[in-house]
Amino acid sequence: MQLSRSLPTPNIDFAIIMNRPFICSLCFILTVVFCIKTSGPVWAQTPPVHLQQHEISPLRKGEFLLFSKKTEEALKLFKELWRDEPGNGYAVRGIVRSYQALDQLSQADSFLSEHLEQYPRSSSAAYGLGYTYYLQGRFEEAKKVLMESVNLDSGNALALNNLGAVLAELDQNESAVLKVREAIDRAPEELMFYRNLEMIYVRSGQPLRFRDDYQQLLSEKALLKAKGYGLILAQQLRQKSFKLYAEGKMKECIESIAAMLEFYREIDHQPGVVAGFFSLAVLYEEQGEIEQAVTYYREVLKINPQHIQAQERMRSLESKKE
């Protein structure tokens, strides 16, 4: 298994559910998209359409260009950003991913190797070279150069995470777990690291260990890291709910959304809580269970009285009663 090696793709194929006839299905889709935008890692998201490029950071601009397949523009921007911020590992990551999209990883190798010759103490360059080797399947070489990156900067969370992914490829799973956990300690807000940790657990035949970690962190009131685990677990249930909805398994879909909501409540992730309540309201409305739907719309409005969609659905239901 190769961890987080590919370019980011949309989190769900909307086509599989757009053929459902009830208009509230669209509301359900929009709700879960809202969860995607509020729960996913910053680097993997597309900025909202209304945001103009001058209003977002250079890193987000680069990610937007890369996502939009304007790869050469993205590469140029990432290189300029790295020139201005030599320690910015995300700029280096953008450079490597741009070369990957252009099918030119050998040029990434040359570019970063030359940079390291000129700046041998650059942890970010060593990380980028290690990431390049990783994408090429050159795991022993990747391990060596990533260890050099971490030795140069023990706080380089991207290098620690990538080193963990490499160790997993080399079937050194417990060492991989330790490195990814170190990455999480350095940057607990980066969801990519939690995803890699969960995949390592699955790879090593311990699929429940991730949830055990989450429960342990909750009991220790280590809420910052618990939130990262909880968001990943909630996202998995969100994806499961899409599949169930597409298959017409509404009871199971509702159960999945309710379980997702519980995770969001445990980690006090209010956007997810609102989206979970709204999704349940829409699904119950679609099933004709109006009282249940109204209950959940009211929960949405308790948290966010300005929630336009919930206001509109409540007005619609009230007019039907009249």
- pLDDT digit string (tens) for 22-48? 334 434 444 443 443 433 333 233 344
pLDDT of 11 above 50: no
Q: What are phi and psi of 67, to 5 degrees?
A: -65, -35
216 contacts: CB under 8 Å, gap ≥ 6: none
Report how far residue 60's alpha carbon sits from residue 39's, in angstroms, rounded to the nearest whole number: 16
- Helix or strand or coil: residue 2? coil
pLDDT over 60 (residue 265): yes
φ, ψ for residue 205, nearest 5 deg: 80, 25
Q: How far is CA 227 from CA 189, 214, 220, 262, 264, in A?
A: 9, 8, 13, 12, 9
Tell me the Cα Rg of the chain: 22
Superfamily (CATH) of domain 1-41+225-322: Tetratricopeptide repeat domain (1.25.40.10)
Q: Say how far apart CA 198 and CA 163 lie, in whole Å.
A: 15
Query: What residue ranges do the domains of the chain occupy?
Result: 1-41+225-322, 42-189
**8 A C-beta contact, residue 236 and residue 194:** no
What pLDDT sits at residue 28?
47
pLDDT digits (tens, 9 = 90+) for 43-90: 233 344 444 444 689 999 999 999 999 999 999 999 999 999 999 999
CB 183 within 8 A of CB 167: no
Rounded to whole angstroms, the maximal C-alpha distance in the chain is: 77
Kindly report the average pLDDT of the chain as a whole number: 86
The letter for the amino acid at 243 is K
Mean pLDDT of 1-27: 38
Q: Please indicate whether residue 55 or residue 303 has the higher confidence score (pLDDT).
A: 303
By three-state DSSP, how is residue 198 classified? helix
- Calculate the alpha carbon distances from 130 to 92, 99, 211, 249, 287 in Å: 11, 14, 30, 44, 52
314 token code pair: 């409540």
CATH of 42-189, one of 3.60.15.10, 2.40.50.140, 3.90.730.10, 1.25.40.10: 1.25.40.10
* Dihedral angle sign, alpha carbons of residues 106, 93, 43, 253: positive
Closest CA to 108 of 121, 92, 120: 92
Residue 10's pLDDT band, with cuts at 50, 70 and 90, is very low
Q: Look at the block and give the residue holding tokens 């998995």.
A: 236
Task: Report the alpha-carbon distance of residue 287 to residue 305 in Å, rounded.
Answer: 25
pLDDT (mean) for 106-133: 98
pLDDT for the residue 317: 87
- Give the model's confidence band at 321: pLDDT under 50 very low, under 70 low, under 90 confident, else very high: low
Spatial separation of the C-alpha atoms in residues 211 and 262, rounded to whole Å: 14
Tokens of 144: 């060596």
Please determine whether the domains at 1-41+225-322 and 42-189 fall in the same fold group of CATH: yes
Sign of the torsion angle spanned by Cα atoms 119, 125, 126, 129: negative
pTM value is: 0.81
